[in-house]
Amino acid sequence: MTFDLAAFLETAGVGRRVVQLQPKQVFFTQGSSADSIFYLRAGRAKLTVVSQEGKEATVALLTPGEFVGEESLASVGALHMATATAISACTALKIQREEMIRVMHEEHSLSEMYMKFLLARSMRTQADLVDQLFNSSEKRLARILLLLAEFGKPGEPEPFVPPITQETLAEMIGTTRSRVSFFMNRFRKLGLIEYNGRIRVHKSLLNVILHDQFTERTLEESPV
């Protein structure tokens, strides 16, 4: 029988089951046993890590079509390196380690898809590092908002960002909540976003990244 990749990732079966999570529910926690990988079918989630000193940082945003918990495939007895938490209502397929490895060995379409995912994740991690090292906190915030909105899909209206707190945004760009509030208010005044309970991103926000729209003199209004 021909292997149906879409059906495998969308339906329950041997070694896999569909799970539903509400906002703030966790897929797994940092340090817990990594015996399954999740395929996010709908919703948004985030990965956070906590240092030994208790400081928490958001290290990645997860969107539909991504895997999370890939460390479970590395070795038997592996531990999760981060906590995965739903930002919005999520639907995911939980796949046991043994089943995922078995199907990857037998079905080229799944292994190819997974390798493409790992490459895309690696490239995004590099882009995040460059963004953190070289861009201002304002440009980092603009980039995160565009990523959250999945901006740039052809034929789609300017989208709303999933519910997310300013504290989480601050963690992701490495600044304070008051700094994020300052930039959000300025983006709104300039018509780059709408911000009334939900954030709606406009195309003009791209100018912050593409054309370095704001000057250092303006940024001095609120020091990093």
Domain ranges of the chain: 5-131, 135-219
pLDDT of residue 36: 96
- For the ranges 90-94, 121-125, 162-166, the maximum mean pLDDT occurs at 90-94
Domain 5-131 and domain 135-219, same fold? Reply is: no
DSSP string for 8-35: HHHS-BTTEEEEEE-TT-EEE-TTSB--
Q: What is the pLDDT at residue 214?
A: 56
Write down the pLDDT at residue 130. 78
Domain 135-219, CATH among 3.30.70.1450, 3.40.50.300, 1.20.140.10, 1.10.10.10: 1.10.10.10
* Secondary structure of 109-168 as H, E, C letters: HHHHHHHHHHHHHHHHHHHHHHHHHHCCHHHHHHHHHHHHCCCCCCCCCCCEECCCCHHH
Determine the Cα–Cα distance for residues 141 and 114; give it in Å rounded to an integer: 29
- pLDDT tens-digit map of 192-215: 999 877 899 988 888 777 766 554
Summarised one tens digit per residue, pLDDT across range 36-82 is 999 999 998 999 999 888 888 888 889 899 999 999 998 888 999 99
pTM reported for the whole predicted model: 0.74
The first and second tokens of residue 103, run together, are 């199907």
**Domain 5-131, CATH:** 2.60.120.10
Assigned token pair, 189: 């005044």
- Describe the chain by its helix, strand, coil percentages, rounded to 5: 40, 25, 35
